[in-house]
Amino acid sequence: MAVATKSSTEIRSILAGLQAEAQAILGKYDQKRAALLPLLHLAQERIGHVSLEVEEWAAGLVETTPAHVHEVVTFYTLYHQHPIGKHHIQVCSNMSCVLRGADEIIRHLEDRLEIKVGQTTKDGMFTLSSVECLCACEIAPMLQVNDRYVGPLTKESVDRLIDECRSNQQRA
């Protein structure tokens, strides 16, 4: 099973259903553009990634251009331009984490998941990324899996994390 990809029509239909929530977000800000990040977050949460349709939708809501929205989306690593796995594993590869073994952790994850950084497992379960400092250097080497920070990592704790994600998936 590959990562599920929604069609353009499906995405537009989901976005149409988000109008009330989008207006509520817009209502919290004096300037519409200030609502851009939370609007993108809302759309990504429901759709799984920020597609071109989402960029156009958000641009219309905050009265800017899709090109400006695209710049924002590509600047922040928390926005995904393509569908990702159910568990997005982002390993910090900045100095503190590298000095404490992040490279070895990434290699271990690549071996264990049988993918390279930037790829998604065939079952659509895991996407592996390497990211800049996640501001949790005190638990280096560390990673973020979806909204959760995990560290300091060892090969064993990484194995346990993968097993945990898989068993949670089976229960879901």
Cβ atoms of 92 and 133 within 8 Å: the answer is: yes
**What is the radius of gyration, based on Cα positions, of the chain?**
18
134 binds ligand FES (CB under 6 A): yes
Cβ atoms of 139 and 128 within 8 Å: the answer is: no
Positive or negative, the CA dihedral 75, 145, 140, 103 is negative
Residue range at the interface with ligand FES (CB under 6 A); choices 33-41, 117-125, 130-138, 160-168: 130-138
142 binds ligand FES (CB under 6 A): yes
**Chain residues 106-125 in contact with ligand FES, contact rule CB under 6 A:** none
Residue range at the interface with ligand FES (CB under 6 A); choices 14-22, 23-31, 118-126, 135-143: 135-143
131 binds ligand FES (CB under 6 A): no
In the list 137, 145, 155, 165, the residue contacting ligand FES (rule: CB under 6 A) is: 137
In the list 22, 61, 92, 106, the residue contacting ligand FES (rule: CB under 6 A) is: 92
105 binds ligand FES (CB under 6 A): no
Task: Indicate the residue among 11 and 109 with the shorter CB distance to ligand FES.
Answer: 109
Cβ atoms of 54 and 11 within 8 Å: the answer is: yes
Q: For the chain, where are the alpha helices, taking DSSP H only?
A: 8-16, 19-26, 36-47, 52-62, 66-75, 95-99, 102-113, 155-171
Cβ atoms of 109 and 141 within 8 Å: the answer is: no
In the list 19, 29, 95, 107, the residue contacting ligand FES (rule: CB under 6 A) is: 95
* Interface positions with ligand FES (CB under 6 A): 92, 94-97, 133-134, 136-137, 140, 142
